[in-house]
Protein backbone atom coordinates (compact mmCIF):
# COMPACT_ATOMS: atom_id res chain seq x y z
CA UNK A 1 0.00 0.00 0.00
CA UNK A 2 1.26 3.47 -0.86
CA UNK A 3 2.37 5.60 2.09
CA UNK A 4 0.06 8.49 1.16
CA UNK A 5 -2.97 6.20 0.92
CA UNK A 6 -2.04 4.64 4.27
CA UNK A 7 -1.82 8.05 5.94
CA UNK A 8 -5.24 9.00 4.56
CA UNK A 9 -6.78 5.85 6.03
CA UNK A 10 -5.11 6.40 9.41
CA UNK A 11 -6.41 9.97 9.53
CA UNK A 12 -9.92 8.88 8.52
CA UNK A 13 -9.99 6.35 11.37
CA UNK A 14 -11.89 3.14 11.88
CA UNK A 15 -15.00 2.55 9.81
CA UNK A 16 -17.10 -0.13 8.15
CA UNK A 17 -14.05 -1.31 6.22
CA UNK A 18 -11.10 -0.14 8.35
CA UNK A 19 -9.98 -1.63 11.67
CA UNK A 20 -6.95 -0.91 13.87
CA UNK A 21 -5.46 -3.42 16.32
CA UNK A 22 -2.65 -2.50 18.71
CA UNK A 23 -1.01 -5.97 18.58
CA UNK A 24 2.37 -4.65 19.76
CA UNK A 25 3.77 -8.05 20.72
CA UNK A 26 0.94 -10.46 19.91
CA UNK A 27 -2.37 -10.56 18.05
CA UNK A 28 -5.38 -9.01 19.78
CA UNK A 29 -7.85 -11.73 20.82
CA UNK A 30 -10.60 -10.24 18.65
CA UNK A 31 -8.46 -9.95 15.50
CA UNK A 32 -10.11 -12.91 13.79
CA UNK A 33 -13.62 -11.72 14.65
CA UNK A 34 -12.79 -8.65 12.53
CA UNK A 35 -11.33 -10.79 9.72
CA UNK A 36 -14.48 -12.94 9.77
CA UNK A 37 -16.73 -9.86 9.71
CA UNK A 38 -14.78 -8.34 6.79
CA UNK A 39 -15.01 -11.61 4.83
CA UNK A 40 -18.73 -11.78 5.49
CA UNK A 41 -19.49 -8.14 4.68
CA UNK A 42 -17.71 -5.98 2.07
CA UNK A 43 -14.06 -6.68 2.88
CA UNK A 44 -11.74 -4.25 4.61
CA UNK A 45 -8.32 -3.02 5.67
CA UNK A 46 -6.81 -4.40 8.88
CA UNK A 47 -3.82 -2.67 10.49
CA UNK A 48 -1.77 -4.23 13.29
CA UNK A 49 0.37 -1.88 15.36
CA UNK A 50 -2.17 0.96 15.40
CA UNK A 51 -4.30 2.05 18.35
CA UNK A 52 -8.06 2.63 18.05
CA UNK A 53 -7.50 6.39 17.77
CA UNK A 54 -5.09 5.95 14.83
CA UNK A 55 -1.87 6.42 16.81
CA UNK A 56 0.93 4.33 15.34
CA UNK A 57 2.57 2.27 18.09
CA UNK A 58 4.10 -0.33 15.80
CA UNK A 59 4.59 -4.05 16.26
CA UNK A 60 7.76 -4.78 18.26
CA UNK A 61 10.58 -5.76 15.89
CA UNK A 62 11.24 -8.97 17.82
CA UNK A 63 7.58 -9.99 17.61
CA UNK A 64 6.89 -9.31 13.90
CA UNK A 65 7.82 -12.79 12.64
CA UNK A 66 5.79 -14.51 15.37
CA UNK A 67 2.73 -12.28 14.85
CA UNK A 68 2.80 -12.98 11.11
CA UNK A 69 3.23 -16.71 11.69
CA UNK A 70 0.39 -16.82 14.25
CA UNK A 71 -1.90 -14.96 11.85
CA UNK A 72 -1.24 -17.24 8.87
CA UNK A 73 -1.47 -20.38 11.04
CA UNK A 74 -4.84 -19.31 12.46
CA UNK A 75 -6.20 -18.44 9.00
CA UNK A 76 -5.39 -22.01 7.92
CA UNK A 77 -7.02 -23.52 11.02
CA UNK A 78 -10.70 -24.41 10.43
CA UNK A 79 -11.24 -24.30 14.21
CA UNK A 80 -10.46 -20.56 14.02
CA UNK A 81 -11.77 -19.49 10.57
CA UNK A 82 -14.12 -21.79 8.71
CA UNK A 83 -13.96 -22.08 5.76
CA UNK A 84 -10.25 -21.21 5.87
CA UNK A 85 -9.04 -18.30 3.76
CA UNK A 86 -5.56 -17.31 2.64
CA UNK A 87 -4.51 -13.72 3.35
CA UNK A 88 -1.10 -12.11 2.91
CA UNK A 89 0.53 -9.64 5.31
CA UNK A 90 2.47 -6.56 4.24
CA UNK A 91 5.09 -4.92 6.47
CA UNK A 92 5.02 -1.13 6.31
CA UNK A 93 7.53 1.27 7.91
CA UNK A 94 6.04 4.52 9.12
CA UNK A 95 7.59 6.98 11.58
CA UNK A 96 10.38 4.45 12.27
CA UNK A 97 7.80 1.90 13.36
CA UNK A 98 6.57 -1.24 11.64
CA UNK A 99 2.90 -1.87 11.14
CA UNK A 100 1.38 -4.93 9.53
CA UNK A 101 -1.28 -4.45 6.87
CA UNK A 102 -3.77 -7.09 5.76
CA UNK A 103 -6.26 -6.52 2.97
CA UNK A 104 -9.32 -8.73 3.52
CA UNK A 105 -11.53 -9.10 0.42
CA UNK A 106 -15.23 -9.86 0.57
CA UNK A 107 -15.67 -13.62 0.40
CA UNK A 108 -18.24 -15.49 -1.65
CA UNK A 109 -18.86 -17.73 1.36
CA UNK A 110 -20.21 -17.22 4.86
CA UNK A 111 -17.37 -17.64 7.37
CA UNK A 112 -17.35 -18.50 11.05
CA UNK A 113 -14.81 -17.52 13.68
CA UNK A 114 -14.54 -20.14 16.42
CA UNK A 115 -17.98 -21.40 15.37
CA UNK A 116 -19.64 -17.95 15.40
CA UNK A 117 -20.80 -15.84 12.45
CA UNK A 118 -19.68 -12.21 12.58
CA UNK A 119 -20.92 -9.29 10.50
CA UNK A 120 -19.57 -5.76 10.26
CA UNK A 121 -21.26 -2.44 10.90
CA UNK A 122 -20.03 1.06 11.67
CA UNK A 123 -19.63 0.19 15.35
CA UNK A 124 -17.45 -2.89 14.82
CA UNK A 125 -17.95 -6.63 14.66
CA UNK A 126 -21.29 -8.19 15.59
CA UNK A 127 -21.92 -11.81 16.52
CA UNK A 128 -25.09 -12.60 14.56
CA UNK A 129 -24.99 -16.39 15.01
CA UNK A 130 -28.27 -16.55 16.93
CA UNK A 131 -30.05 -13.99 14.73
CA UNK A 132 -31.58 -16.26 12.08
CA UNK A 133 -32.91 -13.34 10.02
CA UNK A 134 -29.51 -11.66 9.68
CA UNK A 135 -27.77 -14.99 8.95
CA UNK A 136 -30.37 -15.84 6.29
CA UNK A 137 -29.96 -12.41 4.70
CA UNK A 138 -26.20 -12.93 4.57
CA UNK A 139 -26.50 -16.30 2.81
CA UNK A 140 -29.06 -14.90 0.34
CA UNK A 141 -26.89 -11.85 -0.41
CA UNK A 142 -23.82 -13.99 -1.12
CA UNK A 143 -25.70 -16.56 -3.19
CA UNK A 144 -27.20 -13.84 -5.36
CA UNK A 145 -23.87 -12.02 -5.74
CA UNK A 146 -21.49 -14.85 -6.61
CA UNK A 147 -21.90 -17.34 -9.45
CA UNK A 148 -19.51 -19.75 -7.72
CA UNK A 149 -22.32 -20.43 -5.27
CA UNK A 150 -24.49 -21.71 -8.11
CA UNK A 151 -24.28 -25.48 -8.52
CA UNK A 152 -24.09 -26.76 -12.10
CA UNK A 153 -24.95 -30.47 -11.70
CA UNK A 154 -23.86 -31.63 -15.17
CA UNK A 155 -20.43 -29.99 -15.30
CA UNK A 156 -17.51 -32.45 -15.36
CA UNK A 157 -13.80 -31.84 -14.74
CA UNK A 158 -13.20 -32.14 -18.51
CA UNK A 159 -15.45 -29.12 -19.03
CA UNK A 160 -13.07 -26.89 -17.06
CA UNK A 161 -10.03 -25.14 -18.52
CA UNK A 162 -7.03 -26.95 -17.06
CA UNK A 163 -4.72 -24.09 -18.15
CA UNK A 164 -6.51 -21.77 -15.71
CA UNK A 165 -5.86 -24.18 -12.85
CA UNK A 166 -2.15 -24.05 -13.72
CA UNK A 167 -2.29 -20.24 -13.60
CA UNK A 168 -4.13 -20.36 -10.25
CA UNK A 169 -1.40 -22.58 -8.78
CA UNK A 170 1.29 -20.23 -10.08
CA UNK A 171 -0.42 -17.16 -8.60
CA UNK A 172 -0.83 -18.93 -5.26
CA UNK A 173 2.83 -20.01 -5.17
CA UNK A 174 3.89 -16.45 -6.04
CA UNK A 175 2.04 -15.27 -2.94
CA UNK A 176 3.51 -18.04 -0.79
CA UNK A 177 6.25 -20.47 -1.89
CA UNK A 178 4.88 -23.39 0.15
CA UNK A 179 1.22 -22.83 -0.77
CA UNK A 180 -0.74 -26.09 -0.27
CA UNK A 181 -2.46 -25.79 -3.68
CA UNK A 182 0.84 -26.78 -5.31
CA UNK A 183 0.42 -30.36 -4.10
CA UNK A 184 -3.35 -30.77 -4.48
CA UNK A 185 -5.08 -32.47 -7.37
CA UNK A 186 -7.37 -30.34 -9.53
CA UNK A 187 -10.45 -31.60 -7.71
CA UNK A 188 -8.85 -31.07 -4.27
CA UNK A 189 -7.90 -27.53 -5.31
CA UNK A 190 -11.48 -26.76 -6.33
CA UNK A 191 -12.74 -28.10 -3.00
CA UNK A 192 -10.15 -26.06 -1.09
CA UNK A 193 -11.21 -22.91 -2.98
CA UNK A 194 -14.86 -23.57 -2.16
CA UNK A 195 -15.71 -24.10 -5.85
CA UNK A 196 -16.87 -27.71 -5.51
CA UNK A 197 -20.15 -27.99 -3.65
CA UNK A 198 -22.90 -30.54 -3.16
CA UNK A 199 -26.61 -29.81 -3.46
CA UNK A 200 -28.42 -31.93 -0.87
CA UNK A 201 -31.89 -30.77 -1.91
pLDDT tens, 119-135? 999 878 999 999 999 99
Report if residue 101 sits inside a domain: yes
Residue after which a domain boundary falls, among 68, 94, 127? 127
Provide the domain limits for residue 87: 3-127
Cα gap 1→115, rounded to integer Å:
32
Give me the percent of the chain exceeding a pLDDT of 70.
95
Cα gap 74→188, rounded to integer Å:
21
pLDDT in tens, 158-174: 888 888 898 888 888 88
Report if residue 111 sits inside a domain: yes
Q: Same domain, yes or no, for 39 and 117?
A: yes
Overall residue count recorded for the chain in this entry: 201
β-strand partners of 112: 82, 117
Q: Same domain, yes or no, for 118 and 20?
A: yes
User: What is the Rg, in whole angstroms, of the alpha carbon atoms belonging to the chain?
Assistant: 18
Q: Same domain, yes or no, for 99 and 167?
A: no
Return the pLDDT at 1.
66
**Sorting pLDDT into bands at 50, 70 and 90, what band is 85?**
very high
Q: When comparing pLDDT for 176 and 65, which is higher?
A: 65
pTM of the model: 0.73
- Nearest-5° angle of CA 41, CA 47, CA 51? 115
Residue after which a domain boundary falls, among 127, 142, 176? 127
Asked if omega into 83 is within 30° of 0 (cis), the reply is yes
Q: In 3D, which of 10, 32, 31 has the Cα closest to residue 21?
A: 31
Q: Same domain, yes or no, for 27 and 102?
A: yes
Q: Same domain, yes or no, for 169 and 117?
A: no
At 38, which CATH number? Answer: 3.30.950.30
Q: Same domain, yes or no, for 80 and 170?
A: no
Q: How many domains does the chain have?
A: 2
Residue 97 scores a pLDDT above 70: yes
Residue 183, burial from CB neighbour count under 10 angstroms (0-12, 13-18, 19+): exposed
Report if residue 132 sits inside a domain: no
Is the distance from CB of 106 to CB of 42 less than 8 angstroms? yes
Q: In 3D, which of 36, 172, 169, 1 has the Cα closest to residue 106?
A: 36
Q: Same domain, yes or no, for 72 and 105?
A: yes
Cα gap 3→11, rounded to integer Å:
12
Residue 59 scores a pLDDT above 70: yes
Q: Same domain, yes or no, for 20 and 96?
A: yes
Q: Same domain, yes or no, for 53 and 122?
A: yes
Q: Same domain, yes or no, for 171 and 113?
A: no
The per-residue pLDDT of the chain, averaged, comes to 89
Q: Same domain, yes or no, for 106 and 183?
A: no
Report if residue 62 sits inside a domain: yes
Q: Same domain, yes or no, for 101 and 162?
A: no
pLDDT in tens, 31-57: 999 999 999 999 999 999 999 988 999
Report if residue 139 sits inside a domain: no
Amino acid sequence: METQKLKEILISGESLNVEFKQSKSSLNKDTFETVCAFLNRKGGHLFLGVKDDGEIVGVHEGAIAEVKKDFVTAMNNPQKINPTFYLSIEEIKLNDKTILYIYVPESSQVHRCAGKIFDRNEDGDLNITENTNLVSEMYIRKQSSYTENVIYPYVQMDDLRSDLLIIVRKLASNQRSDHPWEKLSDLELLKSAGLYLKDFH
